[in-house]
A and B are shown apart, each in its own frame.
Chain A
Amino acid sequence: MAVNGFTLIDGGMGTELQKRGLKPGGLPELLNLSDPELVCSVHRDYVNAGAEIITANTFGANSKKLGSAGSVREVIRAGIDLARKAGAPKVALDIGPTGALLEPMGTMSFEEAYALFKEQAEAGAEAGADLVLIETMSDLLEAKAALLAVKESCDLPVYVTMTFMGDGRTFLGTSPAIAAATLSALGADGVGINCSLGPAETEPFALEMLKWSTVPVVVQPNAGLPEVRDGKTVYLVGPEEFATVMGRLLDAGVTVAGGCCGTTPEHIAVLRREMERRTAKRPRPPRRSVFTSARSLVCPDLGVAVIGERVNPTGKKKVKQALRTGDLGYILGEAISQEEAGADVLDVNAGLPEIDEPAVLTRLVRELQAVTGLPLQIDSSDPAALESACRVYAGKPIINSVNGREESLSAILPIAKKYGAAVVGLTLDENGIPETAEGRLKIAERILERVLEYGIPREDVLIDCLTMTVSTNQDLARETLRAVGLVTEKLRLHTVLGVSNISFGLPGRDAINSTFLANAFALGLKMPILNPLSKRYMDVVYSWRVLSGEDRGAAKFIEKFAAVPSEAAPVPGAGEKVDITQIVLSGRKNLICDAVREALENSGPMEVINGLLIPAINAAGDKFERGEFFLPQLMASAETVKLGFDVIRDRAGSGEVTSKGRILLATVKGDIHDIGKNIVKMLLSNYGYEIIDLGRDVPPELVVETVKREGIRLVGLSALMTTTVKSMADTIALLKSSGADCKVMVGGAVLNEEYAKLVGADFYAKDAQESARIAAAVFGN
């Protein structure tokens, strides 16, 4: 049935049903049971128009949407049967989005989405579908959940299409290039675009997909953009106009085509005519190294890409603490700083012996995706941690790392293959790290060989030639650099290299590091792993991009360096003598550090805290209560005090300045409005309390577990909506029944004294300032 190598899919279903009398609203999938002949008549017309693939009427047939209105298996079986009955040469099980948003921005877990899709895939396979069409996806992670669910429940071929706005992005910010690179790496049999746009608007995006997809590209546009004529939504692109643009796309290399909303059997018939006029010729699949997140794509073929190293507990006390307590805020801040400093990829490592690494790494990867758009390099030696983190990652990640040992290769390469990840190969094996460059090249060759045996493309291999400390063995620095050159030239593979280790044990580390980096670039290094917050490093990176020709016309370099003032501008207000209370009340962050340092010259840290900083923030609190300050003023004062505390902590070390108490904060399960909780967190931490923030949409069990593990005495819960106050009551009930010895304060616009009592809370905090008073009462300070 294939037409000259092309595959022809049918056109719009919903719009055809409406034309035949279906009223909008309700679940069209239920028609498979209630009005089978209507559905069958649409299918039949598409079969007669020459469509090879008929899309069953199962788009929204998941248990979340159907609810109690119908069973997934029944609706899907009926849908597949109807397409078959209409004479479909091939029947596609149609899978659309769940309608709920996935974590971390939404509240549906990856596993929940996966389970919904799996149920559909199993029902479709059981009913005899010939293939699966996952379509109209906006969220790359949801598309991935659906694709994995299908691949893990049946052997049917599967196409995945996403839907884009006029600016070439999905609602969640994914571009056609990212969708193509990611979904083809994940093993889709075709990737593409459907719905939202007409053929003309779709054309440039389809061409972009052809550049990045390694599998056939699928295009199913609407019959133009919807317009209103005489009070009705209409699609105005007629069959001939549709066919003209689609013909161009077939010439460009699109091999699977059909229509979406507004397209009719006539559109499909003329599209078939276009297919009959030509022979499918797929352009040679691109062979590019590429890594993606849901919102960005990095391709080292086109230039240097910096991997930020700071999300790693090694030698970083605050990262360790964040990983242990589960309050990941500090780490998320580090990620944002690195992105702003010019990182292109972020390495993510959660390797601490005492934590559940698979669980923590997975959560970290999930939450990082909400605050950074950069692709991630998932860094672990634990295959279970790598697999569960790769699973919830919306994109094509890098796995760091495998090495030349067979046990490493056979444990980790299947994971890379399954999730379409690129992989870093370390040039070491059972015998350790070879001293010579040639020895390391040999291991790289062996890794490459094994990678190819697993069916992973060579473009997905990155080699790390391993930096050795120059103060230990001075001759090895040159060998590492030579190895970078050999791997680049002989194997034509990209290299990564951790840079900072070179200078360990020496003074003036920046000088050695940047010289080493510059030389590694000259020998072909593409992806240095470094601290992007170091200016010296980034200067080398920006300079190399000019010297290598990557930064055309030195445009980016000029933009960056032309703006740097030759002399440091004087800090406004510096040198002024103002007392600490005044500085705090006016929120002048630029003055507080010096003032506190000066105070420390004459007084001990506790005296400065209790005699100066606490009275200052209390003064701000009093002003807020009297209505002389409004919220941002109180917050600006609190921020200023915090800087003062930081100076003392840095000076005194953590031993001397003890926290006034530990408080757990959470926005309850089901609630996503967390700004009130964030304000409370900020204020309490600036009063000297240690805060463990579990975030929003927090299940009661997690609150109880953390309270017990950390020995928490005060819990603060927030909820904004009437619909989520119940979760608050549930959380408190679980806390009490678990025998946890802690008090609970609650806040949120929906609450008042009376409601707070009703949900079982010990205290009601009407605002952030009140929460500080409650904390003082509970901890007796």
Chain B
Amino acid sequence: MRWERCVKPGSELAVERSEVLRYLGYRGQELDGELDERIRIITEKCVTELEPRYVWEVFDLRETQNGPVLCGPELAPEGEDIKRHLHGAVKCAVMAATLGFEAERALMRLGQRSTTDETIYNAACTALIESAGDECEREIIGFARSMGLQTSYRYSPGYGDFPLECQRQVLDAVDAGGRLGITLTDSFLMLPRKSVSALIGLYPEAAGVRRGGTTCETCENYVNCEFRKEGFGCGG
């Protein structure tokens, strides 16, 4: 099944100031008015000039000897963590979201003028793409509920031992190249940089969804985890 939606900025997507501050490493320091205002203005610029877009699609899951496979794109996620994550799921959603090349250009331009502005804009972009990802996830949750299913959290290539090399298959499953313009470099990094992709498992109520338990510090993937590097945890 395939759903697609383009989200207009401003009207639906908000970015919390506290989120932007969090990505900037804020820990309650005394914040003077000038810097606070600068962060507000740059965040507003980010939210008004960028247009997040996302796509998602739900596929049936088929169990094989080597773990679950998404029927249709024939996507077999590699890595023990994602297999464990999808254990008991009957369907799997694939989602991709991006802020587009406008974000890419804005970052490059700001970087030439003021690294501070670039850093703040970068944090605002991270908050905005997360917000778009959340919105997309909410739609998937709604869809799952309508089918009497529960969902897990977003799980992306590069997270845990789910290799970044799977990124191509994940993006292709929802034609993120054709629909959103997301491309991959030879090192499997997404361009535009401010893009996310993820799998979300859909489970029958009875299976129960694994949530919580680990923290970043105790996680064996602490060093490699792309989520942590971006400044936020996986929710695991």
Spell out A's residues near B (CB within 8 Å).
Answer: 23-26, 99-101, 105-107, 136, 138, 171-173, 195-196, 226, 228, 231, 233, 329, 332-333, 336, 370-371, 586-588, 627-633, 635-636, 639, 670-675, 678-679, 681-682, 720-724, 727, 749-750, 752, 755
Contact = CB atoms under 8 A, between A and B. Distances in A.
A627 B28 CA distance: 9
A333 B115 CA distance: 12
A636 B38 CA distance: 10
B181 A588 contact: no
A635 B115 contact: yes
Contacts, number: 153
A332 B101 contact: no
Given A25-B72, A639-B114, A749-B229, A672 B223 contact: no
Contact of A678 (B27, B34, B100, B118): B118
Contact of A630 (B27, B104, B184): B27
Interface stretch (B127-135, B186-194, B210-218): B186-194
A586 B27 contact: no
A476 B120 CA distance: 53
B219 interface: no
Contact of B108 (A138, A370, A588): A370
B23 to A, nearest CB: 10
Contacts of B172: 25
A25 B2 CA distance: 14
B17 interface: no
Contact of B189 (A173, A639, A673, A675): A673
Given A632-B120, A749-B229, A371 B105 contact: yes
Contacts of B114: 639
A727 B186 CA distance: 12
A335 to B, nearest CB: 8
Contacts of A673: 189, 193
18 contacts: A23-B74, A24-B72, A26-B74, A99-B184, A195-B178, A329-B112, A333-B113, A586-B34, A587-B32, A630-B25, A635-B119, A636-B38, A675-B119, A678-B118, A681-B115, A721-B158, A724-B189, A750-B229
B48 interface: no
Interface in B149-204: 158, 164-165, 172-173, 177-178, 180-181, 183-189, 191, 193
A678 B111 contact: yes
A639 B24 CA distance: 17
A78 B145 CA distance: 48
B35 A25 contact: no
B3 interface: yes
B221 to A, nearest CB: 10
B29 A627 contact: yes
B113 A101 contact: no
B93 to A, nearest CB: 13
A173 B101 contact: yes
A24 B57 CA distance: 13
A672 B189 contact: yes
B226 to A, nearest CB: 7
B43 interface: no
A107 B186 contact: yes
A26 B168 CA distance: 12
Nearest to A163: B178
Interface in B50-100: 72-75, 100
Contacts of B27: 627, 630
A172 B100 CA distance: 8
B24 A631 contact: yes
Contacts of A678: 111, 115, 118-119
Contacts of B119: 631-632, 635, 675, 678-679
A723 B9 CA distance: 33
A666 B227 CA distance: 24
Contact of A723 (B1, B26, B189): B189
B100 A588 contact: no
Shortest 7 CB-CB distances between A and B: which pairs? Answer: A171-B181, A749-B229, A670-B187, A682-B115, A635-B116, A101-B183, A723-B187
A673 B113 CA distance: 18
A106 B185 contact: yes
Given A587-B35, A632-B119, A755 B223 contact: yes
A266 to B, nearest CB: 24
Nearest to A330: B112
Contacts of B29: 627-630, 633
A632 B183 contact: no
Nearest to A171: B181
B229 A228 contact: no
Nearest to B26: A630
A371 B183 contact: no
Contacts of A23: 72, 74
Interface string B1-39: 111100000000000000000001111011110110011
Contacts of A26: 74
Contacts of B224: 722, 750
A630 B223 contact: no
A727 B185 CA distance: 14
B138 interface: no
A25 B186 contact: no
Given A630-B26, A681-B115, A25 B73 contact: yes
B4 A226 contact: yes
A752 B101 contact: no
A670 B185 contact: yes
Nearest to A367: B108
